[in-house]
Amino acid sequence: MGRLKGKVAIVTGASGGIGRAITREFLEEECVVIGFNYVSSAESTHEGLYYEYVVDITDRVAVEGAVKDVINKFGRVDILINNAGITKDNLIYRMSYEEWDSVINTNLTGAFNMIKATIREIVKNEGVIINISSVVGLEGNIGQANYAASKAGLIGLTKSLAKEFGRKNVRANAIAPGFIETPMTEKLPEDIKKAALEKISMKRFGKPEEVAKLVKFLVLDGTYINGQVIVIDGGMEL
């Protein structure tokens, strides 16, 4: 029997590389997983354990309505994984306001919207919140001011959540992946990938499953870990 059997987790961006791996890890634990995706995916129902909502997480009203429906249908929410994220890279002097706003609204405000809509239920169930940040949120990166700001904001949000709700036995942690083999990194030019590999002591990109296993550890076994940022980057020099 999975230790998460009977629990309900919401995973944003569940159809992406890391999100899909997290979903599968939780399904192996017999957890009910609710995927909040911007567009519909081809993910199967996994014997009645996976359900999908097509939701724009930047739309507060849509998020609140979807979360209420989840609670009505499944009776609870125990775990929130804020994984959804986008990039619109550009140097600051070329970056448009739309490129700034869309990344901040999806990566940071979207996470806030999800937390705001679920927090009472998570507190009631002494649940867990995991925010997927990035090493870029810790170190910054050329051409990614919007993405770095959004991921740094997630770290500040995580630490504030831990302080506010730790007394309620709710844990909030952030994970900061480095280069992971996802559709997002596949789009990178080959010279960028090569330069990145030279900075990674393990000389390879991480796998989505490695991030997902860390998420599961923090949910299941990291019962005294709160307000932390866990870097998973293969030993990368920035």
Where would I find the beta strands (DSSP E) of 44-200? Answer: 50-54, 79-82, 128-132, 171-177
Q: Give me 200's structure tokens.
A: 């990674």
**Rounded CA separation 37/81 (Å):** 12
**Rounded CA separation 195/213 (Å):** 27
Residue 53, strand partner residues: 36
Instruction: State the catalytic residue, choosing from 38, 50, 53, 147.
Output: 147
Tell me, what amino acid is at 125?
Answer: N
Is 147 marked active-site? yes
Q: Which residue has the tokens 């770290």?
A: 155
Q: Give me 163's structure tokens.
A: 């302080």
CA torsion through residues 115, 160, 98, 137, sign: negative
Q: What share of the chain is helix, strand, coil (3-state, %, to 5)?
A: 45, 20, 35
Catalytic residue set: 147
